[in-house]
Amino acid sequence: MTMSMHGNLSYQELMRRYRRIGILGEVSSMLHWDGAVMMPEASAAARAEQHAELAILKRELLVDSRMGALIEGAWDEDLDDAQQRDVALLERQRLRMMAIPSDLLTALTRQKSKTEIEWRAARAAKDYKAVAPALARLLALVKEQAAALSDSLGLDPYDALLDGFDPEMTAERVDALFLDLSTWLPELIQAAIDRQSTDPAPPPFDGSFAAATQHRLGEQAMAALGFPFDKGRLDLSTHPFTGGIPQDIRMTTRWDEADPVSGLLAVLHETGHALYEAGLPASRIHRPSGRSVGMTLHESQSLFIEMQMARSPAGAVWLSGLMTEHFGPQPAFEPEALGRRLRRVERGFIRVEADEVTYPAHVMLRYRLERGLLADDLSVHDLPEAWAAGMEDLLGVTPPDDALGCLQDIHWYDGAIGYFPTYTLGAMAAAQLAETARMEMADLDARVAAGEVEAAVAWMREKVHAEGSLHGTDDLLTRVTGRPLETGAFRRHLEGRYLDG
């Protein structure tokens, strides 16, 4: 590294250009939120064209040959650690983008929109065959994408896709972690179900719970966690998600007037995602090192709030108070009864409704199947059968139809192969972070029970959010918890909560 005579001119110009790309990404993100929350149905085609055009523009800015020269120039400049990280991350992002020809990018973007629309109809009609041809076409394009990335990055095709969601993660690593899980999880599921069979069932909810009141309750919980309502909002959508940008966070949920808990848990989960974005370092806005690390850490943030805090005995005390305040007292809201509901273990069909004990089984199934699909070991035609067999194998249940089976998740129909593992990797990371947080803050659970939940968020903000992506997932976990990602804390958490608790 030599000192430049004129300061870091290449680096500065590189960041100026990256900022433009980042702002186009912000625009896409706002439009994505609008598409799920506000957009009229028949406007979908125009919106798809907008997304395609923004993707192409971002690509053009990123692959521009001048960017390559600037990256080379920047490496010769006197950069601090964060700046070096910026250049390295940007170089990687550019390499990934250059691997994908513009025609393929357009075809992918269009086929994703088309397949997703057909999937919605197919799922409503429980008719997998109706969407299978579109899925096959999309999968063929994803395979092209994986092959192109594989060549460019020198990674296996599946790893090349996984790397797009969780940098540095590999199938070899996932295999090892999931193999470990598979040695103890099936027994733990059975033991947890056996154990709770002697508990009384959670009392049913009494009455109807107005959506408007649930909305106020949800916003109160978000405020307690430190959600910045001056630069964010909560709206409704079919599937809860967190969109927007750190300066304009758009969170969504849905309310069930017969069940005041499910929507609230979705809000708590999404607030974890939202606070990660809100807590990213403002000093490194529009720099690669100022962004979130990847989906494993992102999911760890939502699961830290939802699973580690809210569903704990202390969390049940907090939520019990909130629910009683808004809906009056009833047996189902008693802390102990509410806790039993929040920690109920059941072998079900639907991933997003699964408890944290059976959830990894849902993920392992999808991981197994999507690797098969990508490697041509499994055909789109045979997916429903393979799904049913896998559910029987991993959870001992067989879905009665494909809406409760291979049509339930949007991911594959949106071209996302390599995303699913991050849910369970995130659960592991959340357990690891929570274990450390509880060691460093002995009164953490007492504070959560008292509603001082922002204490947990403050710790996470300092340890994780404020780092941006200065470090990869394993580096960051090692810095904070002393160990890279592993299954130990997750196992101790589940055993402690479901067997000994």
Site string for a second copy, 414-453 (x = CB under 8 A): ----------------------------------------
Q: How far is the CB of 288 from a second copy (least distance, A)?
A: 18
For CA atoms 21, 26, 27, 31, give the dihedral sign.
positive
Annotation marks residue 270 as catalytic: yes
From 48-56, 175-183, 380-388, 458-466, span contacting a second copy (CB under 8 A): 48-56
DSSP letter for 256, please: B
Between 37 and 125, CB nearer to a second copy: 37
CB of 405 to a second copy, least distance (A): 31
Q: Which helix (H) or strand (E) holds 201?
A: none
Nearer to a second copy, 47 or 483 (CB): 47
Closest of 312, 311, 314, 329 to residue 261, by C-alpha = 311
Gyration radius of the chain over CA positions: 23
d(CA 300, CA 429) in angstroms, rounded, equals 6
Q: Which is nearer to a second copy, 3 or 42 (CB)?
A: 42
CB closer to a second copy out of 232 and 405: 232
* Residue written as token pair 């919980």: 221
User: Considering the complex, what minimum distance in angstroms separates the CB of residue 501 from a second copy?
Assistant: 40
Of the pair 55, 444, the CB lying nearest a second copy is at 55
C-beta of 270 vs 355, nearer to a second copy? 270
The rounded distance, in Å, linking the Cα atoms of 303 and 154 is 33
| 196/237 with CB nearer a second copy | 237
116, 118, 270, 486: the catalytic one is 270
Nearer to a second copy, 30 or 224 (CB): 30
Nearest to 221 by CA among 323, 293, 331, 308: 323
d(CA 425, CA 188): 18
> Shortest distance, CB of residue 476 to a second copy, whole angstroms?
26
If binding is defined by CB under 8 A, does position 98 make contact with a second copy?
A: no
Q: Using CB under 8 A, count the residues that bind a second copy.
A: 31
CA separation, residue 169 to residues 26, 425, 480 (Å): 25, 10, 19
Chain-centre distance for alpha carbon 413: 17
Give the shortest CB-41-to-a second copy separation in angstroms.
6
Among 7, 16, 53, 328, binds a second copy (CB under 8 A): 53
Distances from the Cα of 352 to the Cα of 112, 239, 356, 411, angstroms? 22, 10, 10, 12
Shortest spacing between CB 20 and a second copy, in angstroms? 6
Residue 63 near a second copy by CB under 8 A = no
From residue 206 to residue 245, what is the string marking binding to a second copy with x (rule CB under 8 A)?
Answer: ----------------------xxxxxx-----------x
Minimum separation from the CB atom of position 72 to a second copy (A): 24
Taking CB under 8 A as the criterion, the residue among 9, 57, 352, 450 binding a second copy is 57
Q: In sequence order, what are the beta bridge partners of 7?
A: 5
User: Nearest CA to 260 among 294, 293, 218?
Assistant: 218
DSSP states along 317-351: HHHHHHHHHHH---GGGSHHHHHHHHT-----S-G
Q: What minimum distance in Å lies between the beta carbon of 28 and a second copy?
A: 9
**Identified binder of a second copy from the candidate list 7, 16, 49, 78, rule CB under 8 A:** 49
Give the one residue of 27, 130, 193, 410 binding a second copy; rule: CB under 8 A: 27
20 scored as a contact of a second copy (CB under 8 A): yes
CA angle at 409 for the pair 185 and 416, rounded to the nearest 5°: 95
What span, in angstroms and rounded, lies between the C-alpha atoms of 13 and 70? Answer: 7
Give the one residue of 13, 17, 36, 47 binding a second copy; rule: CB under 8 A: 47
Angle (nearest 5°) at CA 303 between 299 and 306: 145
485 closest CA partner among 437, 434, 426, 440:
426
Distance CA 248, CA 278 (A): 9
Site membership for a second copy, residue 46 (CB under 8 A): yes
Of the candidates 484, 473, 455, which has an alpha carbon nearest to the alpha carbon of residue 309? 455
Residues 234-293, interacting with a second copy (CB under 8 A): 245, 247-248
Q: DSSP labels for 451-496?
A: T-THHHHHHHHHHTGGGTTSS-HHHHHHHHHSS-S-SHHHHHHHHI
Pick one of 13, 32, 36, 54: the residue that binds a second copy (CB under 8 A): 54
From 20-28, 127-135, 449-457, 468-476, span contacting a second copy (CB under 8 A) = 20-28
User: Tokens at residue 139, please?
Assistant: 């999968």
- Residue 13 in contact with a second copy, rule: CB under 8 A: no
- Comparing CB distances to a second copy, the nearer of 24 and 265 is 24
Nearer to a second copy, 235 or 256 (CB): 235
Minimum distance of a second copy from residue 310's CB (angstroms): 25
Q: What is the C-alpha to C-alpha distance for residues 162 and 475, in angstroms, rounded to an integer?
A: 18
The catalytic residues are 270
Residues of the shown chain interacting with a second copy in the complex, contacts defined by CB under 8 A: 20, 23-24, 26-27, 30-31, 34, 38-43, 45-47, 49-50, 53-54, 57, 228-233, 245, 247-248
